[in-house]
Amino acid sequence: MHRICLLLALCGGAHLAHAQTLISQDDLDIAAQLRDRALNSDMAYQLLESLTVEVGPRMAGTPGDAAGVAWAKKTFEALDYDQVALEPVTFPLWRRGAESAEVTAPYPQPLAVTALGFSPGTGPQGVEAKVVHFGTLHELAQIEDGSLNGEIVFISNQMERTKTGEGYGPAVVARRDGSTVTAAKGGSAVMIRSVGTDNNRTPHTGTMRVEPGQAAVPAAALSNPDADLLVAMLERGDVTVKLSLDVGIDGEGLSHNVIGDIKGSDKADEFVIIGGHLDSWDLGTGAVDDGFGVAITMAAGRFIAEHAPRPPSRTIRVVAWANEEQGLWGAKAYYEAHKDQLEKHLVGAESDFGAGRVWAFASRVNKAALPVIGQIHSVLEPLGIELGNNAAFGGADVLPLRAAGMPVVSLYQDGSDYFDYHHTANDTLDKVDPEVMRQNFAAWVAFTWLAANYPGTFSPAPVIE
Amino acid sequence: MHRICLLLALCGGAHLAHAQTLISQDDLDIAAQLRDRALNSDMAYQLLESLTVEVGPRMAGTPGDAAGVAWAKKTFEALDYDQVALEPVTFPLWRRGAESAEVTAPYPQPLAVTALGFSPGTGPQGVEAKVVHFGTLHELAQIEDGSLNGEIVFISNQMERTKTGEGYGPAVVARRDGSTVTAAKGGSAVMIRSVGTDNNRTPHTGTMRVEPGQAAVPAAALSNPDADLLVAMLERGDVTVKLSLDVGIDGEGLSHNVIGDIKGSDKADEFVIIGGHLDSWDLGTGAVDDGFGVAITMAAGRFIAEHAPRPPSRTIRVVAWANEEQGLWGAKAYYEAHKDQLEKHLVGAESDFGAGRVWAFASRVNKAALPVIGQIHSVLEPLGIELGNNAAFGGADVLPLRAAGMPVVSLYQDGSDYFDYHHTANDTLDKVDPEVMRQNFAAWVAFTWLAANYPGTFSPAPVIE
């Protein structure tokens, strides 16, 4: 390809070099029509309302999760998906019972606390000990192994608020590894400042990591105001806390990926795979994380089937993923079950970053297909969406497929307030703005139609270091 | 007084008719200096930090409340108040144990709930019944007595957000009387939408009213998102809820008004009485309601004693009131103990409307003293404070004194976000902006100095219908 052609192609204009495999003008026009119609549709919001009201919390392996699976199956069927399948997913079953914490000396006060997923319990007596304060996990990691004497470790660093969520990574390490590192140092339990950006007394849960046979201590998150309080107490001197967590792993859990297919016409055995994760944490109703993504993508398949002038060329596969929260168990199960069809998966994407406006469209495709990404972006641009780079994340549940080579895209959302609600009791429907949801919905409808009808390939996708 | 003199006086100018008893220019100058110095002082914020960190929740009659009394006594002494007194206050002791609610059919989900103060308990089995939905208390009141058959009443109207808090009155009637009215109608329990303006899963508690011997049912508040959820379920059909409240009245409680006096010079037996209430609800740390008011006024007395060039003419009496929340028990006890000295109380005021900026200064004084109110306002005006009317509220804890004729003033605060935190777990220190607190502090310091040195009287105060 001549440089000038490439430049033209990158500009995303309608008149591109004929040597290039591109999306047809007809499909671009249909996508624009679908986009504009979707902007006036509350179908996605109505699905989310149904899921949160009629099911609510859906922690993996709980009755609520099973109700979510039944809801997704029934809803795919009600939306006239051509095929609906349940795919079993198993995982360690973690349960949450009563949980509490209190300062017992010198300033007795209750603390708002929640256990981290996979935390062991404290036993009915709880753990009562002096608190040792570390600014970061790194500071804790640097002390000598075995040098603590049964103290409760407190890690106080706070997540930074950003649009992209980049504050999450530096903060979440304490949640992930605080328990096992504390065990190695000789502590009896760990409390972290919630990985979140709000100032509500609604602590943020989330998984911790523990390998089979690895020592771990009970682990919990304090709300930001409670972490502030504890910091202020520790500035005055010694503080003793009692932590009681009736939680733990209790056998094996069972859930299901729920898969709905809108059948393609000429390339029915090839897929564009989109979705959200059906499980949530137990504290809220999982509206923002990730009922939003489930509803957007379930509605997108139906909306295309109902309103496009003809069926899509490829099959649109919508997956309501099982147990994302506790370690991508549904994503791994899907990969195991479908790895022999990997090359049939043209491109994948998940909506799982809250309920904010989509502000960028990024890809992870073969460079030769970037002009096609430009074409898709040209239909998304009127929604206020920038063109991103070619190093898209894709979404947590497409990571196993991405690692095996599947191209992905991301419709990046503004995450400025996502970590106010993420993994808390405050993750409820009222946090979702229906107008912003329509913008997301329109973007997913347009992208999905275009990808399903693009005659070429996005493979091989680049390996990103 | 001639009309023209009155007009001049109302304009608050410095050159007023000589017949009028006014505040001296010297005292106006001292007040302005104190105001400007207080604007740079964090004394009030530091007291609030100390109270919330070292004491925390202070529900009347609890160990936290007793710790609050000890804190207030110790702090008045540390601030070199001339006299510190504890005044006993008794009241019915209401206790809160475990509380929970859940939808049991058709969409099982937990609900975020908290009992109302003075609610009876449900017993260990809880109350499980069909929910009957009323928009308002008024709608419930209109059905025939005894016409319910053990259902749980749900009252769903929502409080409106305003600067003045005027949305509180229409909403709070359901909290106050929902329990007894439900009992009269034959219901088994009542759940109200929280009297609050936020969308957090932190329900708002507060007292209900029940006369001795009057029938009442267990009463609780749902958070706004939970009330939305229940409304959405009820739009679909019948809903059954289980409510479990381990709460109730348990004998008699004891607390204390804590009174600190900065002794006046020539009129030491006359008082300017200011304060805030020391008790809080148990869910938060009572930073906004009403540690803020306690800290502002305790600091004001000290600040004047420390920084004014001479002692105030009258005694500045600061009261950290006991048990305001459950029915002005401290205010009533003070009135009973001091009603023979009523005429010695020049003017009273309480800071008890959250942590917002003061935007208006209002009075309830004899009309002849309105020029003096104008003088005081002239010192407050640079803080962005308007002159209000002559029908000031004064504050809940000065109501018994006001009812007996004591003049009052109000430093009205912007309450736009007060009912986001009021009576919830979210009432914590982080909700207080230190800069806004300094503005409040400066206003209270200036007002208090001027009132304590005003040579005249504000009595008799007008009766307000």
- The gap between the terminal CA atoms of chain B, to the nearest Å, is 26
Spatial separation of the C-alpha atoms in residues A38 and B9, rounded to whole Å: 65
Taking CB atoms and an 8 Å cutoff, what residues of chain A touch B229?
A: 52-53, 56, 285, 428-429
Q: Do A54 and B107 touch (CB under 8 A)?
A: yes
Q: Do A108 and B429 touch (CB under 8 A)?
A: no
Contacts 24+ apart (CB under 8 A), A125-129: A125/A244, A126/A242, A126/A243, A126/A244, A126/A245, A127/A152, A127/A188, A127/A189, A127/A218, A127/A242, A127/A243, A127/A244, A128/A104, A128/A240, A128/A241, A128/A242, A128/A243, A129/A188, A129/A189, A129/A240, A129/A241
- A97 touches B: beta carbon within 8 Å: no
Residue A196, classed as helix, strand or coil, is coil
Residue A371, classed as helix, strand or coil, is helix
Query: A431-448 burial by CB neighbour count: b if 16+ within 10 A, else e?
Result: bbeeebbbbbbbbbbbbb
- B54 touches A: beta carbon within 8 Å: yes
Spatial separation of the C-alpha atoms in residues B176 and B282, rounded to whole Å: 18
Q: Which of B198, B238, B426 to mutate to test the interface with A (most CBs of A within 10 A)?
A: B426
- A237 touches B: beta carbon within 8 Å: no
- B307 touches A: beta carbon within 8 Å: no
Q: What number of other Cβ atoms are within 10 A of residue B368's Cβ?
A: 17
Query: Cα B198 to the chain's mean position, in Å?
Result: 19
Taking CB atoms and an 8 Å cutoff, what residues of chain B touch A200?
A: 200, 202, 426
Q: Which of B46, B51, B109, B113 to mutate to test the interface with A (most CBs of A within 10 A)?
A: B109
pLDDT of residue A236: 98
Taking CB atoms and an 8 Å cutoff, what residues of chain B touch A424?
A: 201
Taking CB atoms and an 8 Å cutoff, what residues of chain B touch A110?
A: 56-57
Domains and CATH numbers, chain A: 16-82+263-453 (3.40.630.10), 96-247 (3.50.30.30)
Taking CB atoms and an 8 Å cutoff, what residues of chain B touch A225?
A: 426, 428-430
Phi, psi of B46 (to 5 degrees): -65, -35
Counting Cα atoms < 13 Å in the Cβ hemisphere of B52 gives 36
Question: B321-342 pLDDT, tens per residue?
Answer: 999 999 999 999 999 999 999 9
- B238 touches A: beta carbon within 8 Å: no
The H or E element spanning position A111 is: strand A109-111
pLDDT over threshold 80, residue B57? yes
What's the one-letter identity of residue A183?
A
| Structural tokens at position A350 | 């998940």
Closest residue of chain A to B421, computed from CA coordinates:
A200
Q: Which of A51, A201, A424 to mutate to test the interface with B (most CBs of B within 10 A)?
A: A201
Q: Do B429 and A228 touch (CB under 8 A)?
A: yes
Spatial separation of the C-alpha atoms in residues B216 and B214, rounded to whole Å: 6
Taking CB atoms and an 8 Å cutoff, what residues of chain A touch B433?
A: none
Percentage of chain B modeled with pLDDT above 90: 95
pLDDT of residue A465: 59
Spatial separation of the C-alpha atoms in residues B407 and B461, rounded to whole Å: 5
Spatial separation of the C-alpha atoms in residues B110 and A284, rounded to whole Å: 9
| Structural tokens at position B230 | 């229940």
Spatial separation of the C-alpha atoms in residues A446 and A192, rounded to whole Å: 42
pTM score: 0.94
Query: A209-234 burial by CB neighbour count: b if 16+ within 10 A, else e?
Result: bbeeeeebbbbbbbbbbbbbbbbbbe
Q: Do B49 and A232 touch (CB under 8 A)?
A: yes
Q: Comparing B190 with A19, which gets the higher pLDDT?
A: B190
pLDDT of residue B458: 97
| Structural tokens at position B26 | 């010297």
Residue range B346-357: mean pLDDT, rounded:
98
**E strands, A331-413, where?**
345-350, 358-364, 386-387, 408-413
Q: For residues A194, A197, A200 and A203, what is the CA-based torsion angle, rounded to 10 degrees?
A: -20
The H or E element spanning position B386 is: strand B386-387
Helices A292-307 + A25-38 axis angle, to 10: 120
Average pLDDT, chain B: 95
For A412-460, the DSSP string reads EE--TTHHHHTTSTT-SGGG--HHHHHHHHHHHHHHHHHHHH-SS--PS
- Greatest Cα pair distance, chain A, in angstroms, is 77
Taking CB atoms and an 8 Å cutoff, what residues of chain B touch A280?
A: none
Q: How far is B107 from chain A (nearest CA, A)?
A: 5
For B86-148, the DSSP string reads EEEEEEEEEEEEEEEEEEEESS-EEE-EEEPBTPPP--TT-EEEEEEEESSHHHHHHSPTT--
Question: B264-296 pLDDT, tens per residue?
Answer: 999 999 999 999 999 999 999 999 999 999 999
Number of H helices, E strands in chain A: 13, 14
Spatial separation of the C-alpha atoms in residues A438 and A317, rounded to whole Å: 21
Question: Which of these, A339, A322, A340, lies nearest to A331 by C-alpha position?
Answer: A322
Spatial separation of the C-alpha atoms in residues A255 and A329, rounded to whole Å: 9
pLDDT of residue B15: 43
pLDDT of residue A6: 40
Which ranges of A290-398 does DSSP label H, i.e. alpha helix?
292-307, 329-338, 370-380
Q: How far is A132 from chain B (nearest CA, A)?
A: 18
| Structural tokens at position A192 | 């972290």
CB A348 within 8 A of CB A415: no
Taking CB atoms and an 8 Å cutoff, what residues of chain A touch B201?
A: 202, 284, 424-426, 428
Q: Do B107 and A53 touch (CB under 8 A)?
A: yes
Q: Which of A46, A71, A200 to mutate to test the interface with B (most CBs of B within 10 A)?
A: A200
Taking CB atoms and an 8 Å cutoff, what residues of chain A touch B428?
A: 199, 201, 225, 228-229
- A58 touches B: beta carbon within 8 Å: no
Which residues of A, range 266-285, sit inside 8 Å of B by Cβ? 284-285
Closest residue of chain A to B51, computed from CA coordinates:
A107
- B426 touches A: beta carbon within 8 Å: yes
Q: Which of A45, A103, A229 to mutate to test the interface with B (most CBs of B within 10 A)?
A: A229
pLDDT band at B14 (very low <50, low <70, confident <90, very high): very low
Prior bond of A290 cis (ω within 30°):
yes
Q: Which of B57, B202, B429 sits opposite A202 (nearest CB)?
A: B202
- B229 touches A: beta carbon within 8 Å: yes
Query: B406-443 burial by CB neighbour count: b if 16+ within 10 A, else e?
Result: bbbbbbbbbbbbbbbbbbbbbbbbbbbeeebbbbbbbb
* Whole-complex ipTM: 0.94
Q: Which of B57, B64, B228 sits opposite A429 (nearest CB)?
A: B228
Spatial separation of the C-alpha atoms in residues B277 and B292, rounded to whole Å: 9
Question: B101-147 pLDDT, tens per residue?
Answer: 999 999 999 999 999 999 999 999 999 999 999 999 999 999 999 99
Q: What number of other Cβ atoms are within 10 A of residue A238's Cβ?
A: 11
Which residues of B, range 110-139, sit inside 8 Å of A by Cβ? 110, 112
pLDDT of residue B465: 58
For B217-240, the DSSP string reads --EEEE-HHHHHHHHHHHHHS--E
Q: Which of B229, B235, B283 to mutate to test the interface with A (most CBs of A within 10 A)?
A: B229
Spatial separation of the C-alpha atoms in residues B240 and B129, rounded to whole Å: 5
CB A341 within 8 A of CB A359: no
Phi, psi of B103 (to 5 degrees): -75, 125
Question: B212-222 pLDDT, tens per residue?
Answer: 999 999 999 99
- B232 touches A: beta carbon within 8 Å: yes
Residues 6+ apart with CB under 8 A from B203: B112, B113, B114, B194, B220, B221, B222, B223, B226, B424
Q: Which of B49, B112, B425 sits opposite A112 (nearest CB)?
A: B425
Q: How far is B200 from chain A (nearest CA, A)?
A: 6
Closest residue of chain B to A232, computed from CA coordinates:
B53
**How far lies A360's CA from each of A144, A301, A355, A413, A414, in Å?**
45, 21, 14, 7, 9
Closest residue of chain B to A52, computed from CA coordinates:
B229
- A53 touches B: beta carbon within 8 Å: yes
B86 forms beta bridges with B258
**How far lies B37's CA from each of A359, B29, B194, B359, B438, in Å?**
48, 12, 40, 20, 10
Spatial separation of the C-alpha atoms in residues B146 and B148, rounded to whole Å: 6
Spatial separation of the C-alpha atoms in residues A153 and B373, rounded to whole Å: 56
All residue ranges of chain A with pLDDT < 70 are 1-19, 465
